[in-house]
Amino acid sequence: MKGTHKNLTSLRIFEAAARTLNFSRTAEEHHLTQGAISKHIAGLEKRLGTVLFKRTPTGLRLTHAGALYLEKISAALRLLDEADATVAHPGSRVALNIAVSPSFAPFLLIGRLAEFFNRHPDIRVNIRPRLIYGRPAGERFDAEIQLHTGHISGKTAQYLCGREMTLVAAPSLLERRPVRGIDDLQHLPLLKRAQRGYGWDEWRAEIAPHWAGPGQHAAEYEGFSLLLPATLHGLGLAIVPICLVLEHLRAGRLVRPLGEVVAGRHAYYLLQPRPDTSGPCTQAFCDWIREESQRVEDAVQDYLAS
């Protein structure tokens, strides 16, 4: 096709500019002048018949058309790069970029990755701890594992694990102040998680709707990576997904003083771009994480049934 090479160069330049939202940095990345970058973008906009970027006092921003275009061409460029690497360097490892909830990564993923690499030694996985909100608009990932409700536009969402939540505490804390019912919680430190999901209000609505819950001055922790160690060290009681603390419960490092289980609205989901343009390497990772998550789910159900 006439001009295919030039068009592909323009697409790569657009992808870099959309990712960085900075023509100067894009020029450095492609070893071109800023004027050449502008010319490529202008040519692409002319061919498409629409504006991809808008200039604002605070810098570049993608237009709606630009954001849609980025979503489509990022997947296409990814597949081209993967095909080039497979043919030109058959011994090299394909790199996947996976965004993972900062709580899922250390507790449920990292310890299992060696098994994935044993199955797929030709695939390298770059793990990026990310929340689903409040991150740069230009970031694109082959797949994501996020704490969510499962309803999100522009992506498919498949449930992995984590619906079941419960109240937990360290035995050392309860030895000093036993908990036999809701009223006993009034005199104990209750710990909050700062982000959405697994909140006291949702738990209270099912277990104790007439109880006031933690006071406004209750200690708040930024994520499970801080909340769980605080709970394990006896600093207070917390609401947590059972899948994250299953080993601690089995080992007796944490206990469930009320023995309850609440099905929460949030859980861990595998998110993929829609439409699905993933290659075989991404598909291999997604199949594997679904398989591992099913094992986690089965273990949680076995624990609750025992």
The structure tokens listed for 188 are 């104990």
Q: Is the predicted pLDDT of residue 92 greater than 60, yes or no?
A: no
Q: Are 245 and 228 in contact (CB under 8 A)?
A: yes
Separation between Cα atoms, residue 263 and residue 241, nearest integer Å:
9
pTM score, whole prediction: 0.72
**Are 165 and 203 in contact, with CB atoms under 8 Å apart?**
yes
Mean pLDDT computed over 131-139: 71
Alpha helices, H only, the chain: 4-20, 23-30, 34-48, 64-88, 104, 113-119, 171-176, 200-207, 224-232, 242-251, 280-305
pLDDT in tens, 116-127: 999 999 899 999
How far is C-alpha 306 from the chain's CA centre? 31
* CA dihedral over 206, 211, 217, 219, signed as positive or negative: negative
What whole-number distance in Å separates Cα of residue 241 and Cα of residue 269? 14
The SS3 call for residue 210 is coil
Q: What is the mean pLDDT of the chain?
A: 89
Q: Identify the top-confidence range among 29-43, 142-156, 234-248.
A: 234-248
The answer to whether residue 270 scores a pLDDT higher than 50 is yes
Residue 49 or residue 154, greater confidence: 49
Dist. CA 166–CA 205, nearest whole Å = 13
Ramachandran quadrant class, 259 (left: phi over 0; alpha: psi -120 to 50; beta: rest): left
User: Which residue type sits at 100?
Assistant: V
